[in-house]
Every structure is written in C-alpha cells, then in structure tokens.
Amino acid sequence: MMKLPKSWNQITVNQFTELASLEEKDFDSVFEMQVETLSILLDEDPEDLYDLEVDELNNVLKDLIWLRSEPRVKINEQIDKYTFKPFDKITLGEFIDADYFTVKDKIGNIPIITAIFYRQTKLDEWGNRVFEPYNYNLFERSELFKEIPVTAVFGLVSEYLKFRDSFTKQYENLFAPQFEGEEDTEDLTPEEKKEVENEKKRSKYAWESLVYNLAGEDVTKVDQVTDLPLTFVFNMLSMKHVLS
C-alpha cells in the first residue's frame, strides 16, 4: 500500500522544485510523467513504479487532487534558528542577489532565496535584535532549507515579488530597461540598432555598473556599497537624479 502525502505540508522544498520542473514535452507519454510525479512524491525510483497499471495509477492520482492548487502563501517569521529579515530592512547587496535568483528561476531557487532572507540574530549591547551579516556561503546555507516543508517558505517568493514590483515602480526612473529575447530591429537605422545593442549591454551589467560607480570606481569599496541599506541608496540616487 502506497503511503501518499495528503497535503503540501508533507512536501519538502526539494520535492516541490522537482515537481515544478516537470513538463509534458519532456516525456513520451502522460503515463511517464505521472510515474515521475509519483516517484518524487514517494521518493522512489521511477523504474519501480512502471509495473503499475494505468487504471491503478489513475486511482492513486485521484487522491492527489490537492497538487493542482498552490501551497499556502504565508511568511513564517521563524524557521528553526533563522529569523525572517523584513524586505524594508535589506541591503543593496541582498536585493541584487534576490533580484538575480528570482528572475533566473523563482521556483528552482527557492532554497537560495530563503537563505538570503532567513538569518541568525542576536541582541546587541543595547538590547536591539540585529541580523547576522550577509557574508556567509549562500549556497551552503541554502542546503538547510531543502528538506523543510514547502509551506514554510512558498509565500516568501510571492511576497518578495510584490515588494520588488512596488520598489521598482517607486524608483522606475532609476532602473535600466530590461530586454527579454531578441528585439525586432529590422526597421531601425544602423545608428538606432547600435543604440539598442548598447542599451542591452547596459541592461545586462546594470547592477555591476551601479555598484562600481557608487564605489567611486574603486573595487576595494564594493562591499561597503552593497552593505548599505537599499532604501537609503535609492533615495540618494533619486536626489542626485533630480538635482543633476
């Protein structure tokens, strides 16, 4: 008798990212995809499940109707010894990393994104709670969040994306245009095509360029810049933009 999970509460982050990566086009049949889904849920080799009859498999999958919905959207303030760092308290460097990993693969990178925002804390000499400095190995830390229930962290990504959208709209005049895929430049003049290419290059290295300029083109000061509060940096950039 198969011991199937009954809800997202019994699915780990690792299992969730594996399930999310499954696409019909990667399988020769729906049956193969269903077997792969079951193997992830049961943590068993797919080969051990191919003896199942189609009808038997369909009956099993009927009990997994909850897979068609998403896990609950909620941010937990505490996960083990790690505390959630509010978005309005993050640094420029933390925002840059979170931006990169969410844009690249917001689901596959859930453990890494979690590692950015969940930190150890302690009380300082004045009794204020301070967050662990952002100088740990992000990829090693992310391993800690792969085996926890996905319901503990799924809301983090969606809430961060809301914050990101709100923040970029607030400072939209300071963000470089984003280029996705190939732009149609067929009807442009050579000069216009060249400008489009230059904009693409600037967009690709927008964060690096911003940090380098803020550091006074001194690479030894990059860490000082990325450790600055995000809102402070963009308020200063806004002031400079208005006054220039």
Residue-wise pLDDT for 203-213, tens only, equals 677 788 889 88
SS3 of residue 217 by DSSP: coil
- d(CA 226, CA 224) in angstroms, rounded, equals 6
Which residues of the chain are modeled with pLDDT < 50? 1, 179-181
Segments of the chain assigned E as strands:
78-79, 82-84, 118-119, 121-123, 129-131
Q: So what's the pLDDT on residue 232?
A: 94
Provide φ and ψ at 146, rounded to 5°.
Answer: -85, -25
Q: So what's the pLDDT on residue 194?
A: 65
Q: So what's the pLDDT on residue 185?
A: 57
Closest by Cα among 129, 132, 135, 71 to 97: 135
Q: In what side-by-side order are the strands of the sheet with 78-79?
A: 78-79, 82-84, 118-119
- Whether residue 93 contacts residue 37, with contact meaning beta carbons closer than 8 Å, is answered with no
Residue type, 94: E
> What pTM, to 2 d.p., does this model score?
0.82
Q: So what's the pLDDT on residue 1?
A: 46
Q: So what's the pLDDT on residue 165?
A: 92
